[in-house]
């Protein structure tokens, strides 16, 4: 059985790096908003959440409901592990 190796393109690598950086920034902003009632952080968290949702939806999923459920679970886990209340 021959396994084929797939090279990861530069675009995929950049997209993954953007995803991770935005996730961290989102969790930090959400934490500041929840813990300190920082309104600017709340606005930033909303902006980042929208961008993350757009990136999430750009993947190849079965249907929109599956995307919504999986994104919701990912978001809850991210904020739970980061210490912000979802």
Question: Looking up tokens 């530069």, which residue turns up?
Answer: 10
With cut-offs at 50, 70 and 90, classify the pLDDT of residue 63.
confident
- Domain residue spans in the chain? 14-82
List, for residues 1-60, the tens digit of each pLDDT value. 566 677 778 887 888 888 889 999 999 998 888 888 888 998 999 999 999 988 888 766
Average pLDDT over residues 50-79: 82
Of residues 47 and 80, the one with the higher pLDDT is 47
pLDDT of amino acid 48: 93
Question: Residue 23 in contact with residue 52, Cβ under 8 Å?
Answer: yes
């Amino acid at each position: 059985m021959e396994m084929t190796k797939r090279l990861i393109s530069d675009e995929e690598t950049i997209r993954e790096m953007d995803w991770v950086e935005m996730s961290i920034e989102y969790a930090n902003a959400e934490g500041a908003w929840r813990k300190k009632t920082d309104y600017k952080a709340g606005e930033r968290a909303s902006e980042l959440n929208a961008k993350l949702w757009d990136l999430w939806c750009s993947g190849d999923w079965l249907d929109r409901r599956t995307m919504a459920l999986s994104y919701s679970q990912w978001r809850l886990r991210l904020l739970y592990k980061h210490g912000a209340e979802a």
